[in-house]
Amino acid sequence: MGLFDRYLAGQLLIYFGFFSLVLVAVYWVNRAIGLFDRLIAGGSSVVTFLEFTALALPNVIYAVLPVSALVATLYGINRLSGDSEMVVAQTTGLSPWRLARPVLIFGAAAAIMISVLGHLLVPAARTALSERGEALSQDVTARFLTEGEFLHPGDGVTVYVREITEAGELLGLFLQDRRSPDARTSYTAERALLVRADGATRLVMFDGMAQTLEVPTRSLVTTTFDDFAYDLAGLAGGEVDRVLDPRELSTAALLRADAEAQRITGADVAKLRYEGHARFADAAFALVLPVMALGFLMLGGYSRLGLWRQILGAVLAAIVLEMLGNVAENTVRRDADLWPLVYLPALLTAALAAALIWRDTRGPYLIGRPA
């Protein structure tokens, strides 16, 4: 790799890192607000929130990297052109094809990052996130340890705790169970404890009262007790086999799309194979997208007004290609035999990039070029 190649590719990588951080931060904040409200309202701690956001980051980074590669190329080449560095490079005899080489190297670096994320980190993070979410839904204890708030740890169940002591004792407990359509029971107790035994969580209440309303007869039955054990296992539901998201599977399993993969995901062959090929197609798209941006930016000559028209053309082309990708996705998800269409956006981007670079070699005039 020549000196100019290292310089240009290094500059693009610096801009790529900056814009990736900005886009990830914006995307993460938008998602984190809703996640924070949902977890904290359910009685989870800040540590749990940070754990969930960390597990969601690989998928966020995977989504924004192609956009970051495009923005970094447009910004970097436009800035170098404004500083006349691209003009100097061209006057030294570097052809558009030669200038495309460091940009292609930068695209290859972005494609490798996307491949590592798509094939390894994102599936592992999705699996860990799903398992952690399932464990959190089963952890009824955490949803009881919030004082001064009415919580809903399960459908038809409301819990209020006035105070929680340092020893974990619940003072001033109110529990209402409305899961049965024929009866509604409200429990009040002076104090209570959460006890874990035999793999199940029980709420042991002391010095309390149970009021049961028989809905059909509208009769109220009141019972006082010194101690009473309430089984919390039903709040989280019984243990069932978790249906995997197809994006949790390895690429090899997605491409095979055998009966076992269909059983554990509930998806058909077309959807599984699309997810497998999409991981390769996304990396290929990120590889050639910066070269296409370079082709647009090199149209025309130097201008003090900047390259805003070329930048607009590159952005519009990227949007159209992404829309074609969505059309190809809908088509492939219906017919597994049409999986080559997944690579259509990347192939069209490569063809457009080559055509633009070739056009740049012809100069500003194709017909009647002055001597």
Q: What is the pLDDT of residue 103?
A: 93
Residue with tokens 């039903």: 234
**Do 118 and 30 have their domain in common?**
yes
Task: Using the 3D structure, point to which of 211, 235, 259 is the last residue of a domain.
Answer: 235
**Do 16 and 122 have their domain in common?**
yes
257 domain residue, yes or no? no
**Do 221 and 273 have their domain in common?**
no
**Do 9 and 114 have their domain in common?**
yes
Total number of domains in the chain: 2
Range of the domain at 154: 146-235
Q: What is the pLDDT of residue 366?
A: 42
Task: Using the 3D structure, point to which of 188, 210, 235 is the last residue of a domain.
Answer: 235
370 domain residue, yes or no? no
**Do 7 and 132 have their domain in common?**
yes
Sorted by sequence, the CB contacts under 8 Å of residue 20 that are 6+ apart come out as 61, 64, 65, 68
Per-residue pLDDT of the chain (371 residues; tens, 9 = 90+): 678 788 889 999 999 999 999 999 888 877 777 666 666 555 566 777 778 888 888 998 999 999 999 999 999 988 888 777 777 777 777 788 888 899 999 999 999 999 999 999 999 998 888 887 766 655 555 555 677 888 777 778 888 889 888 777 889 999 998 888 888 999 999 999 888 776 667 889 999 999 999 888 888 999 999 999 887 765 554 444 567 888 889 999 999 988 988 888 888 899 999 999 999 999 999 999 999 999 898 886 555 556 788 889 999 999 999 999 999 989 998 888 889 999 999 999 999 999 998 887 776 544 344 44
242 domain residue, yes or no? no
367 domain residue, yes or no? no
**Do 11 and 75 have their domain in common?**
yes
Task: Using the 3D structure, point to which of 235, 257, 277 is the last residue of a domain.
Answer: 235
CB 331 within 8 Å of CB 311:
no
Interatomic CA distance for residues 60 and 290, integer angstroms: 20
**Do 112 and 158 have their domain in common?**
no
**Do 152 and 64 have their domain in common?**
no
Q: What is the pLDDT of residue 72?
A: 94
**Do 130 and 173 have their domain in common?**
no
* Tokens of residue 147, six digits: 């004082």
Kind plus residue range of the DSSP H or E element containing 22: helix 3-41
**Do 197 and 177 have their domain in common?**
yes
351 domain residue, yes or no? yes
Q: What is the pLDDT of residue 365?
A: 45
Interatomic CA distance for residues 346 and 341, integer angstroms: 10
**Do 202 and 278 have their domain in common?**
no
Alpha helices in 117-266 (DSSP H): 122-138, 140-144, 251-256, 259-265
**Do 53 and 130 have their domain in common?**
yes
262 domain residue, yes or no? no
CB 171 within 8 Å of CB 185:
no
CB 188 within 8 Å of CB 177:
no
182 domain residue, yes or no? yes
57 domain residue, yes or no? yes
